[in-house]
């Protein structure tokens, strides 16, 4: 290779490196304001775990993984501008696909991310992941879409990506080179080297609509409720006490989507020989958790 050709090649490599650096800087600037760190708390209000979510509407709807929120009594989202907001409602979710859409408790306009198209993103395309691995907020990593794999229960093929996913990264947006979300970082294969997976963004359009207060969704919320504690005391008594019925009725009204509430109510009715009423409660429980 002659001198001028070598110089041209080195200049091209330098320009390519600068371009990649500018791409990453542009993505951070464009995406980071809409990525939140999620903190979840249990029944005793102790910190359970953390994760990541991202804002998908100007009124504060966020998308994350179902497993990030499923065991929480309450959850908070920390925004890059320092705002700290309660997650007040669950809008829609799908446990099997590990996606959940929730609402921040805030009266303001939020910057939000635009949806891309995972189906049109080719294998080999550059991607970025912005999240809070190990609690380190607004960490950006980059990689490529290394494969697309069909997986039972998902509408689109899962995106296999090389960008690292660590504890705390769950729920992070996977971003294309135009700053649009094409997936939600979800899990990795243990023992694999950069074998990480993201749920395609198209799947969140097909989530089961719920819109329920967060306390009705968090599985630990009911267990610290004084009425639940009293109901369990009455439930253990023999012979069964009719005093449990108004308490069980109240619990079902407060936690209508909680399987255990309906099952507890049904068991109490059955023990009191109110069989038809018990049957109705058991059927409700089965609808929630077949």
Instruction: Map residue 233 onto helix, strand or coil.
Output: helix
Of the listed 141, 146, 170, 172, which one is catalytic?
A: 170
Question: How far is the C-alpha of 244 from the C-alpha of 109, rounded, in Å?
Answer: 45
Residue 203 annotated in active site: no
Task: Give Cα separations from 174 to 41, 118, 158, 244, 272 (angstroms).
Answer: 26, 10, 12, 49, 54
**75 neighbors 171 (Cβ within 8 angstroms):** no
Distance of CA 128 to the CA centre of its chain: 18
**165 neighbors 147 (Cβ within 8 angstroms):** no
Residue 170 annotated in active site: yes
Find where tokens 């907020």 sit: 137
**Cα radius of gyration rounded to whole Å, the chain:** 24
Helices (H), the chain: 3-31, 66-69, 214-217, 226-235, 244-254, 259-271, 275-288
Residue 206 annotated in active site: no
**196 neighbors 182 (Cβ within 8 angstroms):** no
Of the listed 34, 94, 98, 172, which one is catalytic?
A: 98
Of the listed 23, 67, 257, 280, which one is catalytic?
A: 67
Question: How far is the C-alpha of 2 from the C-alpha of 19, rounded, in Å?
Answer: 26
Catalytic residues: 67, 98, 170
């Amino acid at each position: 290779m002659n001198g001028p050709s070598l110089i041209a090649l080195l200049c091209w490599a330098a320009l390519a490196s600068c371009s990649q650096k500018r791409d990453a800087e542009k993505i951070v600037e464009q995406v980071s304001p809409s990525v939140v760190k999620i903190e979840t708390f249990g029944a005793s209000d102790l910190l359970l775990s953390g994760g990541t979510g991202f804002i998908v509407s100007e009124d504060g709807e966020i998308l994350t993984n179902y497993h990030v929120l499923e065991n929480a009594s309450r959850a908070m989202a920390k925004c890059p501008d320092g705002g700290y907001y309660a997650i007040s409602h669950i809008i829609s979710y799908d446990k099997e696909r590990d996606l959940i859409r929730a609402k921040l408790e805030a009266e303001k306009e939020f910057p939000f991310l635009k949806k891309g198209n995972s189906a049109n993103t080719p294998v080999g395309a550059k991607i970025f992941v912005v999240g809070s691995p190990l609690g380190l907020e607004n960490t950006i990593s980059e990689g490529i879409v290394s494969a697309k794999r069909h997986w039972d229960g998902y509408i689109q093929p899962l995106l296999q990506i090389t960008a690292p996913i660590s504890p705390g990264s769950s729920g992070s947006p996977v971003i294309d080179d135009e700053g649009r979300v094409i997936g939600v970082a979800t899990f990795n294969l243990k023992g694999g080297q950069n074998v990480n997976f993201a749920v395609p963004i198209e799947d969140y359009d097909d989530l089961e609509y719920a819109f329920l207060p967060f306390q009705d969704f968090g599985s630990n919320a009911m267990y610290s409720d004084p009425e639940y504690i009293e109901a369990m005391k009455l439930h253990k008594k023999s012979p069964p006490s009719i005093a449990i019925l108004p308490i069980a009725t109240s619990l079902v009204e407060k936690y209508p989507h909680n399987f255990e509430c309906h099952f507890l109510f049904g068991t109490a009715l059955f023990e009191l020989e109110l069989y038809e009423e018990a049957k109705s409660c058991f059927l409700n429980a089965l609808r929630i958790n077949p």
